Structure 1
Amino acid sequence: MPDLLAGLEPTSPDPAPTGPLADRLRPAALDEVVGQEHLTGPDGAIGRMVAAGKLSSIILWGPPGTGKTTIARLLADAVGLRFAQISAVFSGVADLKRVFAEAHDHARIGQKTLMFVDEIHRFNRAQQDGFLPFVEDGTVTLVGATTENPSFELNAALLSRAQVLILHRLDAAALGTLLDRAEAIEERALALTPEARAALVASADGDGRFLLNQAETLFSIALDELLDPQALSELLQRRVAVYDKDREGHYNLISALHKSLRGSDPQAALYYLARMLTAGEEPLYVLRRIVRFASEDIGLADPNALVQCLAAKDAYEFLGSPEGELAIAQACLYCATAPKSNAAYSAQKAAWKSAKTTGSLMPPQNILNAPTRLMKDIGYGKGYAYDHDTAEGYSGGDYWPAEMTPETFYTPTDRGMERRIAERMAWWAQLKERGDRS
């Protein structure tokens, strides 16, 4: 299929004939890096640094397979720095001392060092502090790479001395460019239908390295005809979604789920629920968050939401996975489509604040129990109006401490069941205005 290769040339000069495809396609210049033009372009942070010929310490934050290592290596070449690389996964204090000592020796002869630290978040706080004096005195220019949120994983002192640059997951266009380059260097097209090619790109989930590894597998197999999407899926494994249950991906998705529920979007809410459960999240954790949502964002607008969520818990514990996950999906959809109110949530916060402020004020004596004669003699329970003895079942009594002005914590909305609650409260207020109902 030579027509697919027209105009395509390998991006790296004289690529090695052997070695992994991803390495043979590693860009030779920053303008060959795909998908990160917001950083490497003329107006990007990296583009401006290179144009000025001066590089500051930076942290490259982005998903796997987006070019962090490649960019670091090319930066060293672009500004004329010696390149030294270590991985926080395999390195310890002794390795750091060695790299710093070598950088110091080279600095004495006028050769500055770019120190690239892969997975920098894996170093503990004390080890991260060890970078500070060498960054400050210019012994090294630090370029760290991380897949985790730097604000969670890196010391504030280290972050204050480095600029955080965010790499994007590769979109379909960038991944398509990588496949074009792979076909050019292999001098043949992938044996895929257009639909299968699109499916291959989608399966990479934004990871260029994974895509090229999959392409290399396809190049290594003798195929008599083009693969369609079904045949491709049977031949290759789909990339597992990036999701660490104790890190940022976890918090991002649970936040997206909660806000989709609050925004009454059942389709998006179900999508994020599926993202979490298919990635291996603990189902009861997700359900606990939905239970919380039922009280915080629905409340008395639909009291049955909480009942539905607790019923889903019972169903899941009874059935287990995967059958019980249907009950969680039902609770999710119920909450997404229920009327919303945070009146109970706001009332709770206001009441808790008032309780802490007012301290130990005594309730009025007329609503206190008097189990002993002494308590009766000093007035406990005297004058209490029993609401059921009134015609309307409402006495209009005063239940607040004498030293405290009555406050309003709960104001129902006009949505769902709260509309009826608001009407009932307004009726009670009218009765109270008529005078003492006791």
Structure 2
Amino acid sequence: MERKRFIIDDSERMLFKVNRSVFVKPDIFEKELEVIFDKCWLYVGHASEVKRPGDFKTRHVGGRPIIFNKDSTGRVNAFLNTCPHRGATVCREREGNSKTFRCFYHAWTFNNQGSNVAIPGEDAYGPCFDKSHMSLYPVPRLEQYRGFYFLNFDAAAVSLHDYLAGAKEYLDLIDDQSSIGEMEIIQGTQEYDMKANWKLLVENSFDDYHVVPTHITYLDYLKDSGVEITLPKGLLMPAHGIGKSLGNGNAVIDNKTYRGRPIARWMPMYGEEAKAEIEEKRRELTERLGEEKAYRIAETNRNLVIFPNLVINDGSAITVRTFFPVSHNRMKVTAWALGPKEESETARALRLDSYLTFYGPGGFATPDDVEALEVAQQGYEAYKEVQWSDVSRGIHKEEQLNTDEVHLRTFWRRWNELMTGEKTTGTN
């Protein structure tokens, strides 16, 4: 890969810029696969997706086919979904419950602990053949925090606990929303592609600077639905929160919500019949967690990015979204809704309605964002002439607001460090 400067991080001049070649050059994409997706912790699934022994999900993580399962002993695993015999995908179902996985090509069979239990015509192999070495390969590392499972293809990687750093506080705020400590992925998966570089979705996922010009239709919808919201005369939403780095490239915007939260903050669009239950949930949170933490859960919302490609939007609903690059200008996106296991049918219906209204592929936000990122990708084809994007917003200030860009700079500093080995000294 051609050696060049990817970012300008100049604290003296208070400038931060990103070279647009990083969005369009295939050789940069190839190196990302090697130094980021082969080395960082990548989200694979939630504990609630494999509740019972035998439950499994298959998905692609970091360019590899994966079986994410709970085996008959109750252990959660992540196996590479490739037959050690001749490479075929072993499990071709999206999900299910099974004690075994059988490769359709030559019928090699494995139990749900990954061990090879049957090879047709095994006696045809020589004396040095060892069936125990022909089992499914587990990923080098699999660890979890509060039910969120991550894998790493680098056996020497730091622990997930250390990697998450300050992001653990925000995962705690999510998990503590359940009175019984059990959050669950709600049935149903959103899948869609974008003709854009994956890093554009990282930026977009916690960029509040674009909210008014890009999502004005949604803001009008909220106002028409009875939400007390003052739309700005200009194109900038008044700052209502902060942005901050959480370490290791992880970052967040933490806002005072201007929308309702079905978990504990009512607004007229939810209907009078939902008000009592939402208010009761607020009381439960206060009694269990204390006033301060209950306030954070009920009255604030968060867009959390766990480097490199996990986004958790804890707003009008909780969205867990991950995305992987297919090429330098295309990505595959997968998203799920998350909620407390014990919530009522009414509360669950409100949650899903909020989830689909804003975050769904046909909702108010996602189509806008897809369009914005795809036209940005098109514009970056002029990278040779217009070389730099400015990400300096708020760099001169001590307090970083949600409409500033310290959280974007956090991502880019870590990305640059992994790609070049050079660590810049900027903090804001």
Instruction: Select the structure that is richer in strand.
Output: 2
TM-score relative to the length of structure 1: 0.22
Larger RCO (CA under 8 A, 6+ residues apart): 2
Structure of higher CA gyration radius: 1
More helix by share: 1
